Amino acid sequence: MLKAVLRGLAAALLAVLPLTVSAPAHAAETLSLIAAIDRLPVHAESRDGYDRNAFKHWNGGEDRTDGCNTRAEVLISEAVEPPTVGPRCRLTGGLWWSYYDQTWVTSASSLDIDHMGPLAEAWDSGAYAWTPAQREAYANDQGAKQSLVAVTARTNRSKADQDPGEWLPPAAEVHCRYVAEWVGTKLRFSLSADEAEVAALRDIAAGCPGQTVTYELAF
């Protein structure tokens, strides 16, 4: 009798308590560059209401116990020769390869961390509708290697918030890689592109036979 009562209580509780189900992990997908470009949603862009401060960065990074922010963690992870990490995550020494301009860099202070998709571009392309937490996740994304790139400050600042129709890295030999990473970043975050941007991407992709794009949805 007692067992029957307990079974009845358990069934009643299951009926009224919500079930917590973990969201399934997104699987990575690899496409040809042309196919990836064709997958981009095409919409007009608008910068109305944009504020860089809407994208909180740099935050405490992936490891909230290491005393380093996202910028420092990217520098450490991308170093060809690791820097020494001192108190308050001060970096000394180290060696980096800035792929945009094919340049070796020996000082962390000479590097910027480029958002592959600039924050203003992300806003124009759909991030205006995101929550603050989603914008923070975008601005500090270390879940995909191409999202944040350590490059010379001069190339990052010459890029500013321009898309590939307006700016490409100085080193012509990396244009295919750069465009693939740009498109992969947009697909990762379900961001759109405008018609002029898509036309420029297709023109560049025509010279990139065999180039692929691998991405995994961020959210």
- Give the residue-averaged pLDDT of 195-199: 98
pLDDT tens per residue, range 134-190: 999 999 999 999 999 999 999 999 999 999 999 999 999 999 999 999 999 999 999
pLDDT tens per residue, range 27-60: 999 999 999 999 999 999 999 999 999 999 999 9
- Return phi, psi of residue 47, to 5°: -100, 10
Please check the confidence at residue 112 and state whether its pLDDT lies above 60.
yes
pLDDT at 210: 96
pLDDT at 96: 98
pLDDT at 15: 40
Confidence label for 25 from pLDDT (cuts 50, 70 and 90): low
pLDDT tens per residue, range 9-20: 444 433 433 333
Lowest mean pLDDT among 21-25, 99-103, 115-119: 21-25
pLDDT at 26: 77
Taking CA atoms, 18 is separated from 13, 14, 15, 21, 151, in Å, by 9, 8, 8, 9, 48
- Give the residue-averaged pLDDT of 74-103: 98
Please check the confidence at residue 207 and state whether its pLDDT lies above 50.
yes
Contact call for residues 35 and 22 (beta carbons, < 8 A): no
- Give the residue-averaged pLDDT of 123-133: 98
CA–CA gap between residue 85 and residue 76 (Å, rounded) = 9
Cβ neighbours for 93, distance < 8 A, ≥ 6 positions apart: 81, 83, 84, 106
Lowest mean pLDDT among 8-12, 30-34, 83-87, 98-102: 8-12
